[in-house]
Amino acid sequence: MKKEIGIGLAGFGTVGSGVYKNLVRNGALIEERAGVCFRVRRIAVKDLAEPRAVEAPEELFVTRPDELIEDPGIQIVIELMGGIDFPLAFIRRAIQAGKSVITANKALLAEHGREIFELAKEKKVAVFFEAAVAGGIPIIKAVRESFVGNHIECIHGIFNGTSNYILTRMTDAGLDFSPALEEAQKLGYAEADPALDVNGWDAAHKAIILASLAYGFWVDPAKVHVEGIENVTASDIRFADELGYRIKLIATIKADDEGKIEVRVAPTLIPKSHVLASVNGVFNAVAVRGDVVGETLFYGRGAGQDPTSSAVLCDLVEAGIALSSPKESHGFAAHDLYGDCKPVADSVSKFYLRLGVEDRPGVLAQIAGALGAADIGILSVIQPESHTGEFISLVLILHDAPYGKMLTATKTLAALPCVKSEPLLLHMETFL
Ligand code: NDP
Ligand code: HSE
């Protein structure tokens, strides 16, 4: 007889119901692999009357998540409710009660990971979070375990399925932003508050978790540079295309020679020839470069019911195995080799700058003069003939410069009388 492990599922929405469905579907396989038998004892939801696409026995449903913690037959609680304050308090209580915890809540871990893992260590309970970064891609396991013998040199990732879906639909189908977002919401990819998807913060939460794992200290969200895709237009996508680039919401995590860590999430121009440029739709990809392993690439669905529940099931098996043969591992290994983030202003890259300018002689010379005075070199210029209202777009590709310097120069340009619309400044990544 296999040992039975009781599960409390907090949340039965897109991911929670997927976990239940797939646990039923692949239960025999999972139990063979884990060597234990899993039984869902309670499911917490907000509203018992809510119609459910996935069926589960009615008697399992409760509306008070603490019933999961109070049930002595539950050893593992799976938090899939979303939000921050409520699940934080819930997870704290679960850890205090000695329950193993699984969560897919990247916002919570990015903001409160340090405190959760310190408490888990003190109470000697395990916390698992494979689904929190890049949905079905097993990147947490890879960075934490498979690359344990490496210094991580850099990680570049497409971490938000919703914004990648929107950019892909804008590129391939010429769709506007709003209908593309609506499609992503219908498909269950977007967060309850989709602002987090499009403003870059969902990807930033994932980048913070991964950077923290890769470099052994909890990265402070205040030190992360975050821009969303809201200001990227169909014209920017076309200009980038003409120049040989795609625009993607890229998370860049990099250690510099002094061990300072840069964490940045921004719509970024990447060469069409780079493999990340071909990652489309809801797919995520993560390129990790380690000093021993070299370049690696992970690709898969970054959101949605089944890919995300696949990652939760992986955590479940790990949690089950850990409960049947305990070891001193709590999911996060802090160390002192790194410990500081690079100031955003010092991050160096090439840049894409789109200006709306008056269509008259001398304007280009003024712009070039202002950039020259700021010691910023121009690599190339596109000035399409078509007008946008009263002005014309001017697109410049600029040589490597620190972001702080570029921002100051952009503000100087924005103040010129010949510049008629808010400039758009985008990072470019050459992956060197
Ligand atoms: P949903 O909004 O689809 O589901 C949330 C579930 O939690 C619902 O069943 C809801 O109950 C329940 N719930 C919410 N608050 C409470 C509460 N106070 N008490 C009891 N139950 C509550 O969210 P998702 O499944 O999309 O996301 C869950 C988590 O997984 C989030 O942290 C999200 O960021 C993360 N995630 C989501 C992915 C995705 O593709 N959707 C991918 C990776 C991570 P009711 O059904 O009654 O409303
Ligand atoms: N809203 C997220 C996304 C879900 O679109 O990637 C996966 O974390």
- What does the pLDDT look like over 340-363, one tens digit per residue? 899 989 999 999 999 999 988 899
Nearest CA to ligand 2 atom 4: 303
Which residues lie across from 263 on neighbouring strands? Answer: 253
Average of per-residue pLDDT across 10-31: 96
Task: Render pLDDT for 315-324 as a digit per residue (tens, 0 to 9).
Answer: 999 999 999 8
pLDDT at residue 430, rounded to an integer: 83
Nearest CA to ligand 2 atom 1: 190
pLDDT at residue 120, rounded to an integer: 97
> Is 160 close to ligand 2, i.e. is its CB under 6 Å away?
yes
Task: Render pLDDT for 366-375 as a digit per residue (tens, 0 to 9).
Answer: 999 999 999 9
Q: Check whether 40 has a pLDDT greater than 80.
A: yes
Tokens representing 56?
């589960």
Nearest CA to ligand 1 atom 38: 303
Angle, helix 85-96 to helix 106-123, in steps of 10 degrees: 20
Q: Are strands 391-402 and 100-103 parallel, antiparallel or unpaired?
A: unpaired
Checking 417-422 for CB contacts under 8 A at 24+ apart, the result is 418/357, 418/358, 418/360, 418/363, 418/366, 418/367, 419/355, 419/356, 419/357, 419/367, 420/356, 420/357, 420/358, 420/390, 420/391, 421/355, 421/356, 421/388, 421/391
Nearest CA to ligand 1 atom 16: 46
pLDDT at residue 327, rounded to an integer: 62
Confidence of residue 332 (pLDDT cuts 50, 70, 90): low
Alpha helices, DSSP H, located in 244-362: 305-324
CATH architecture of 3-135+305-324: 3-Layer(aba) Sandwich (3.40)
| Residue that is written with structure tokens 């499009």 in the block | 198
Q: Residue 162 Cα, ligand 2 centroid: separation in angstroms?
A: 6
pLDDT at residue 359, rounded to an integer: 87
Which residues lie across from 301 on neighbouring strands? Answer: 283
Half-sphere exposure of 395 (CA within 13 A, CB side): 18
Confidence of residue 87 (pLDDT cuts 50, 70, 90): very high
Is-contact 342 261, C-beta < 8 A? yes
Which residues lie across from 164 on neighbouring strands? Answer: none
Task: Render pLDDT for 107-137 as a digit per residue (tens, 0 to 9).
Answer: 999 999 999 999 999 999 999 999 999 999 9
Residue 411 a catalytic site member: no
Mutate to test the pocket of ligand 1, among 40, 46, 306 (most ligand atoms within 8 A of CB): 46
Q: Check whether 334 has a pLDDT greater than 90.
A: no
Q: Check whether 238 has a pLDDT greater than 60.
A: yes
Nearest CA to ligand 1 atom 17: 46
Q: Residue 17 Cα, ligand 1 centroid: separation in angstroms?
A: 9
Burial track 120-153 (b if 16+ CB lie within 10 A, e otherwise) = bbeeebbbbbbbbbbbbbbbbbbbbeebeebebb
Is-contact 263 243, C-beta < 8 A? no
Mutate to test the pocket of ligand 1, among 80, 160, 196 (most ligand atoms within 8 A of CB): 80
Intra-chain end-to-end CA distance of the chain, in Å: 55
% residues pLDDT > 90 (the chain)? 83
Atom of ligand 1 nearest to the CA of 52: 46
Confidence of residue 331 (pLDDT cuts 50, 70, 90): low
% residues pLDDT > 70 (the chain)? 97
Tell me how crowded residue 265 is: count the other CB atoms within 10 A of its CB: 30
> Is 197 close to ligand 2, i.e. is its CB under 6 Å away?
yes
Q: Are strands 100-103 and 127-128 parallel, antiparallel or unpaired?
A: parallel
Residue 189: burial class (beta carbons within 10 Å; 0-12, 13-18, 19+) = buried
Identical fold, 3-135+305-324 and 345-428: no
Q: Check whether 329 has a pLDDT greater than 60.
A: no
The structural domains of the chain, with segments of one domain joined by +, span 3-135+305-324, 139-301, 345-428
Q: Give residues with Cβ within 8 angstroms of 74, minimum separation 6.
A: 6, 7, 8, 41, 42, 68, 99
Atom of ligand 1 nearest to the CA of 10: 21
Q: 0.75 exceeded by the pTM?
A: yes
Q: Residue 13 Cα, ligand 1 centroid: separation in angstroms?
A: 5
Mean pLDDT for the chain overall: 93
Q: Residue 216 Cα, ligand 2 centroid: separation in angstroms?
A: 24
pLDDT at residue 16, rounded to an integer: 98
Domain 139-301: give its CATH code: 3.30.360.10
Q: Residue 331 Cα, ligand 2 centroid: separation in angstroms?
A: 22
Q: Check whether 144 has a pLDDT greater than 70.
A: yes
**Secondary structure class of 251 (helix, strand, coil):** strand
Q: Residue 118 Cα, ligand 1 centroid: separation in angstroms?
A: 25
Query: Which bin fits 259, alpha (ψ -120 to 50), beta or left (φ > 0)?
Result: left
**CATH 3.30.70.260 matches 345-428:** yes
Atom of ligand 1 nearest to the CA of 16: 25
pLDDT at residue 41, rounded to an integer: 98
431 vs 208, which has greater pLDDT?
Answer: 208
pLDDT at residue 219, rounded to an integer: 96
Angle, helix 161-172 to helix 234-243, in steps of 10 degrees: 80
Average of per-residue pLDDT across 7-33: 95
Residue in 99, 121, 206, 254 annotated catalytic: 206
